[in-house]
Amino acid sequence: MTRIGIHDLAVATTHHVVELDDLAEAAGVDPAKYRLGLGQERMSFPAPDDDVVTIGAAAAAPILERHGADGIRTVLFATESGVDQSKSGGVFVHRLLGLPPTVRTVELKQACYGGTAALQTALGIVARDPRERVLVISSDIARYELDSPGEPTQGAAAVAMLVSADPDILEIEPIAGVNTTDVDDFWRPTDSTTAIVDGALSLDAYLHSVTGAWDDYRAQGGPDVDEIHRFVYHQPFTKMARKAHAHLAAHTGVELPVETLETSFRYNRVLGNSYTASLFVGLAAVLDHEDDLAGTRIGLFSYGSGSVSEIITGIVQDGYREHSRRDETAAALAARVRLPLDDYRALHAATTTSSADVETPHVTTRPYRFAGVRGRARHYEPTTTPATAERETVEPASADR
């Protein structure tokens, strides 16, 4: 059988970053609640000319630089925070990246699960014709209401993955465990820029889904828990992954040390929640920071509120370290510009669902920018004009590297 999986992956994020210590101070909350209670230190935040298209394109560009576009006939763009009710964000990315017209492009949605749906779809396309390669982009900007419990769990990131036969990084195994349960734990009505969430219910629904997907995975013939060497979970906040792992340990009766999750938190702790991208950000962190994974099996748990969840596994390929983008990801994190709390609150409050014509100020220093709306249509461009915003680059946190 043809081996199919992740041939390359790259992470991108927004121009700004908000320090959760600043948020805690302004809210009169003990900073330890965010650092330890949620396991979060910082959250990426978009400049006015960043969005899921621009960071998605920024994640995908280095993959095309390395591999070219030959064989790419499909772009799958997964997001919760899409920019149009009809047009796929992937079509904007397709143009920004100069991809040929002989490509099918579509957007997928199911809260934070959409990226895994895109990956599964990509695997199917390559299984049908192993000459094809599929560009999968998961890109999200997580927004909760100001002063709500969800506010410190916001964030933003995109992960682009090239899915192909004979992958250099991770061969995805065919067995998957899935679970769909209709639950109102988190959703976002079309007139709202922020998610509506029942926090306690979302935690319960997530844990219920871990065991539901796990039981299906085993029923489908998936290997037992002690044959999976590393687990990576969707991380709405990193503490959630600890809870999930402990829950799986109790469910299976097998001791599963939570310390083995630590590496998967390195990027998510300082990016915040990135919905569809979060799981793959965790995977990138593990691949970038662990040297001895070749031949081991990694379990990936994906959860999208509403809810759909899935467990898949992959075998890490020999030589995976040679394909690491660790330095580039560290540079992208370190280059973010710290946003003072007042500016963050003003930008957050100004976020709108309006499609009125507007020219967007030049702020972002990322490779692509949202230029504005003309004739109610969105326009994007490479970032050629120097950003005018005052910059204060943050020192990398211990977790950034």
Residue ranges binding ligand COA (CB under 6 A):
30, 32-33, 36-38, 149-150, 153, 197, 199, 202-203, 206, 236-237, 240, 305
Report the residue number, 202 or 263, with the smaller CB distance to ligand COA: 202
Catalytic residue among 7, 19, 94, 112: 112
Q: Give least dist CB 377 to ligand COA, A.
A: 33
Half-sphere exposure for 82 (CA within 13 Å, toward CB):
27
Nearest to 49 by CA among 310, 382, 395, 272: 382
Let me know if 251 is a catalytic residue. Answer: no
Contacting residues for 325 by C-beta, under 8 A, at least 6 apart: 9, 10, 11, 62, 284, 288
Helix, strand, or coil here: 107?
Answer: strand
Q: Give least dist CB 43 to ligand COA, A.
A: 12
Report the residue number, 187 or 334, with the smaller CB distance to ligand COA: 187
243 labelled ligand-binding: yes
268 labelled ligand-binding: no
- Is it true that the peptide bond before 307 is cis, omega within 30 degrees of 0? yes
As a whole number of angstroms, the distance between CA 44 and CA 177 comes to 31
Q: Give least dist CB 136 to ligand COA, A.
A: 21
Q: Give least dist CB 221 to ligand COA, A.
A: 28
Report the residue number, 20 or 38, with the smaller CB distance to ligand COA: 38
Let me know if 173 is a catalytic residue. Answer: no
Report the residue number, 303 or 380, with the smaller CB distance to ligand COA: 303
Report the residue number, 206 or 370, with the smaller CB distance to ligand COA: 206
Catalytic residue among 19, 41, 80, 151: 80
Neighbours of 338 (CB within 10 A): 18
- Position of minimal CB gap to ligand COA: 37
As a whole number of angstroms, the distance between CA 259 and CA 243 comes to 12
Rounded to 5 degrees, what angle do the CA atoms 7, 52, 74 make? 40
Let me know if 112 is a catalytic residue. Answer: yes
As a whole number of angstroms, the distance between CA 204 and CA 247 comes to 11
Query: What does the DSSP assignment read for 323-375?
Result: G--HHHHHHHHHTPEE--HHHHHHHHHH-------EEPP----SSEEEEEEET
Q: Give least dist CB 8 to ligand COA, A.
A: 28
Catalytic residue among 7, 15, 16, 234: 234
Annotated binding site for (3S)-3-hydroxy-3-methylglutaryl-CoA: 30, 144, 243, 273
Known catalytic residues are 80, 112, 234
